[in-house]
Structure formats: structure tokens, C-alpha cells
Amino acid sequence: MPDFTDNLKPRYDGTATLQAERDASSINVDELAKHLLSRNGFLERQQRVLNVLSKEKLFNKDQLLNLSRPDRYYLGLARSKAIQRIGRKLGWDDEDYKMAEYLNDEMSPYHLHTTMFVTTVREQGSEEQKAYWLPKITNFDIIGCYAQTELGHGSNVRGLETVAKWDPERKEFEIHSPHLTASKWWNGAMGRTATHAIVVAQLLLPKQGKAHEYENHGPQPFIVQIRAEKTHQPMDGIVVGDIGPKYGYASMDNGYMLFDHYRVLKSALLSRYVDVSDDGKFTRHGHPAVLYGSLTFVRANIIMHARLILARAVTVAVRYLAIRRQFRDRDSTNEQEDEMKVLDYPTVQIRILPLLATTFALHYTGEYMYMLYQRSRETIEKGDFGPLAELHSASSGLKSLCTMLAADSIETCRRAMGGHGFGGGSGLVLINADYLSKPTVEGDNWMITQQVAAYLIKKMTQAVKNPNNKAKDPTDVLFQTYLQTRSSRTPKTIVSSSGIDDEAIVDAFQWRAADLSYRAYQARVVEKKPWTKLMVQLHNLSRAYSEQILVTNFYSSFETTSSPLSAPTPAVLRRCFRLYSLYTLDTFASSFTLTNAVTAESTYALLDAILELMTELRPHAVKLVDAWSIPDWLLDSALGRSDGKVYEDLYDRAHRRNPLNKITFNPDYRSEEIVLGSGDGGRDLLAKL
């Protein structure tokens, strides 16, 4: 319905504002985008899949925030099914399907089927099992999930309560849930979608020669049908369902499942690495180290994904805050002067620009992880598992650090955007709700840092024992150098009147990580302190170690003899390196001075240096986020639109796309009627409660 607001314009034109921002920087956005996003043909694939999905009404994002949680699952399933139909018609490959899930931006009820379920069968199934199951999986004749985590146990897999007991008479396993806390819990796609599950259960075999006594051979994977083919009802002896609404993942049916002496054939045990003979004897064969390899690959993906999440939050913030104006300069005497762009406030810059710099820090380390993974695959295939421990440790620490940085960044950006940041037009509501799972899944961010610290203590112990051993891993080199120069160390000056010393930055991060490792070694190995007492220090150590990796790899990216990037991009990226590094250094200044990495005076100069760097980066901010190439359709953000039509879009969402405005309510408390003229008395609603 037309009205007088149809032709109103915002006071300042957002489109012209963003154009002016772009004109003021000479960064070549296309070139930088290709530099960042060419792996596996990312940019081309993104455009191609986007063209398909964005044209389908089913994938319209308009009403997502207005749907109930049950409707969100319903929609999520409908979309996942449509993606399969579309992809098969267009001949998509695996990467195309992944891109479709990324752009659709919801956890798919098929997600576990196409990842953990198929991977586990492929990696842990015997040749016979693979021949039987893989065609069914690829064909979607069955739909699988991965049932490991339980109500009572997540991180501690060895503590799982579900048991699979061998019945020597019938040559079958009996899967059983002895307690309520044995219930499988959280397992994606299990709630309503899956027909089959990989069930991880404690393998109990009779003790040889002893009746009714069992020996536990630890958690092992079983492939189990959980729902009947035609009716999709749970099999007898299984209770399974969806666990209900969560912070995010509304489209995903995370499930619970319990077993009542549920019997499965011997062939249910995935038996590439373990097996049970017909007379109940346990055997192991092969080396499951390759499993760590795929875990490491998953974590490298998480880092690369984290940088895109960060980039997305920062894209919204930078574009909106470059358009938003509020208050004239406090020192201005010109009453007619325009209000300042909010992004010109240092109090806003300090929340946003270090995060923008962080996107690049994550990028170069993600690339490094892929390279390491590739290299280690080659050595593993030759039977050398040596580099795997270093790779696994680095990937654990980085998973913890990077997902925390990305998760925190969304809320930081949102808050920096003031009122409109709290609105649905921010485009950050759903991404925040979904992404907040990441600090917990795939290894809790605080728990896995303990593994990193254990590795570093082991490495330091070796370095102390054999200071001149031939160093193999980067950590060996770092620790040996540290031990050799320890006695002559003087803290470095990072920032001085002659500028910022980039090599000193890298040195400071490396030194701090090595020194904290040495302190941990001293406390644990020499003084034999209880592990539990040291946990906080060890967590801090893992963070310092991971920050050192980010800083080192970022710095290494400048070392190529000729940059593939044209001016001024290399210089701008170097400022990003400095900003990320100095901002991190400032946040943990005390840790850097404690370890003699830098002088205390040097830390007092950091804030001014950071403010100066931000002033230098500010003109390039819009083009830097442009380079991350997040499509408007994915952003789904009025504030972050690439064309700057912030206020037009916010108004359109409110005035033309809000179903609540189609209903007239009765606000008079004397009447029980809620919708005016309906005489309903709220009965429909009460039925839902």
C-alpha cells in the first residue's frame, strides 16, 4: 500500500558515502580477493552456487527471524533436500555442496551424513563394510549420524557410559544404556532425520575363562540402524528424539538416544583397526594415526572458516560505521559541520580495526596449516608419523584461539554498532547464535589447550636434555634457540621514536611462548607440581604459543622476494600485521614483560602506536572488507549492504516485510481478546504453551 513514506530519502546518502570511501583508497580489491580466496576455486564457485540458490524462493532469508524453531527444522530439511535435487541436476561436486551449505548458512540435517558419518565408515570400516555401506551412503538410501557424545560425557570419550557387550552364544553385541546419563546427546541429525548412526560404545568382551566377567576394550564405533525403513519410527529397544531448542542450530535436529539391550550383528563393529573374533577375542590391526590426520584437517578448515566469520562481522561493522554519523567533532566550532562518521572515532576503531587485521592473521596461518597438512600426509603415507604430533598440537591451540577470536568478534562488532546492532537488520543474530557453538565443539577451547601445553612441556624437556639434537619441528628450533640465548637475554624495544621494529615483534612473541614453555617445564617436570594446579598457566601458555604462530606466519608472508600484490596493498597488509601484533601485545602486556620479551617502557608506548596505525588503516577499511567478498545475500544485513542502502533496507524490513504489522491488537487489559475483533481470548496461544 503506497503511503507518504515511499519517496523519503535518508538525510545522508549511504551509497555515495561508500563510493567516496572506495574512491579514497587505491587498493586493488579484485587482486586482493584473488590472493585471499583462490584456493579450490573459491571465488568462482561462490558466484556460481550463489546464482543458483539466490533465485530459489525456498532459500529466501527474509523471514528466518520470524519462524518458530520447529518451522526452522522443517525449513532446514526442505532446503537440504532441495540442495540434493539441484546439485544432482547440475552435477555438483563435493565442494559445490559445501559451498551451498555455507551460503545457505544453516546447519543442514544432512551435514553429519556427508561428513562424520561417511568419513568414519570410509576410515574405520573394513573393505567388506565399505563395499556394503558406501554405495548406500552416497546414494542417500540411508541417512547417517554420529552418536558419540552423551548426556554425561563429551570431552572425556573414555568415560562414555553406553556399552556394547559381546554375547558369545548368539555372536552378537548388545548395546545398552545403563544410566540416564548414558543417553546419546547433541548428536546432529539424529533427532528426526537419520535412519542410521555410528554409535560409539564401550566394547565389553567376556574375560577369557571367567563367566560373567567382562573386560572393557574402550570406546569403539558400531554402525546401527535406528529407524525403520518405511515408517521412520525408532527401532524396538531404541528411544530417540530431538533435544529441543538451543542457542543456535535451529535447523539442525540434535538428538538424544537410549538403548534397551539392543542387539546388533557382529558386523556392526567397524573393523578396519579393531575386531572381535567369533570366540570373543579382541584384535587390533593397522595404525589409526591417520585419524589424527583427518582431525587436523578438520581443524585447519575451522581456522579458515573462522577468518570468514570474522570477515563477515567486520564487513557489516565497517560498512555501517562508515555510513553512520553521530555528533559533531567536540572541538569543532562550526555549527553547520556534518556529524562525524562513527568509524572515525578512535573508540570505535579500537574495537573494529584490530579485528579487521585479525582476519589476515588467521588467513596466513590457515594457508600454512593446509601446507603442513599436505606435507604430513605425504610423510604419513610413507609410514613416518613424526610430524603429526607437532601438527596436531598446533592445530589444537589454533582451533582454541581462532574460534574464540571469531566468536567474540561478532558481539564486539554488534555492540560497536549501537542500537541498530541489536536489530535483526544487523544480519548478525543467527550467525552469532550458531557460531557460539564453535568454542565448545571439536574439542572444548579450554580443555584442548591442556593437550597443547603437555606437548610443549614434552618438547621443552627434550630440548633441555639434548640441547643440540637435530631439530625437526619448528618448536624444536624455537626451544633450542631459546635455551641457547636464555642467559644473555635482554628485553626488546618494540616501539621507539624510530618506529616499529617488525623483527622485534616476531621475536617477542616467540620468546614469550618459549619462556612460558620453560616455566611450565620447570613447574611440572622439575618441581613436580600437580597438573591441576597449573592449568590456568598452561592455558595461557597455549594461547601465547598460538599467537606466536599467527604472528610468525603473518610476518613470513612478507618475506617472498616479490609480492604478488600491487601497491599500496603490501604496505597496508604490513600495517595489519603490526596492528594485530601490537594490539595483542598490549592486551597481554604483563605476560610480555614478565617473560623479558619486551621492556615495560615499550609497552607504555603501544597505545599511541596502535592509534596511529588505525589512523593509517582507516582510509582502506571499506576496501579491505570488500576484498573478503562476502556476498550481500549471505550477509543478509541491512547495515552491511555493499551498496550502502542501510536506512532504506532497515525501513523496508520494518514497513514492508514484517508480518506482525498485518495484525491489529487489542491493548486494553480489561478485555481478554488479543487480536482486535477476533474475540479470541488468547485460546490459540494457550494451546501452544
Residues annotated as catalytic (active site), given as ranges: 442
CB of residue 313 to a copy of itself, shortest distance in Å: 14
**Cα–Cα distance between 535 and 531 in angstroms, integer?**
6
CB of residue 482 to a copy of itself, shortest distance in Å: 20
Task: Give the annotated binding-site residues for FAD.
Answer: 149, 188
CB of residue 679 to a copy of itself, shortest distance in Å: 14
Cross-strand pairs, 276? 282
Complex with a copy of itself: residue 256 or 373, whichever CB lies closer: 256
Q: What is the DSSP letter of 674?
A: -
Complex with a copy of itself: residue 307 or 539, whichever CB lies closer: 539
Q: Are 73 and 242 in contact (CB under 8 A)?
A: yes
**Cα–Cα distance between 352 and 345 in angstroms, integer?**
11
Q: Nearest to residue 249, comparing CAs of 109, 457, 409?
A: 109
**Cα–Cα distance between 217 and 201 in angstroms, integer?**
10
Q: How many CB atoms lie within 10 A of CB 631?
A: 14
Complex with a copy of itself: residue 269 or 402, whichever CB lies closer: 402
**Cα–Cα distance between 500 and 118 in angstroms, integer?**
50
CB of residue 507 to a copy of itself, shortest distance in Å: 20
β-pair type (172-176, 262-265): antiparallel
Q: Are 15 and 644 in contact (CB under 8 A)?
A: yes
Complex with a copy of itself: residue 37 or 309, whichever CB lies closer: 309
Q: Are 109 and 253 in contact (CB under 8 A)?
A: yes
Dump the DSSP string for 25-81.
----HHHHHHHHH-GGGHHHHHHHHHHHHTT-GGG--TTGGGS-HHHHHHHHHHHHH
Q: Are 147 and 113 in contact (CB under 8 A)?
A: no
Q: Which residues contact 434 (CB under 8 A, 6 or more apart)?
A: 106, 107, 248, 249
Q: Find the radius of gyration of the CA atoms of the chain.
A: 28
Strands (E), 433-500: 495-496, 499-500
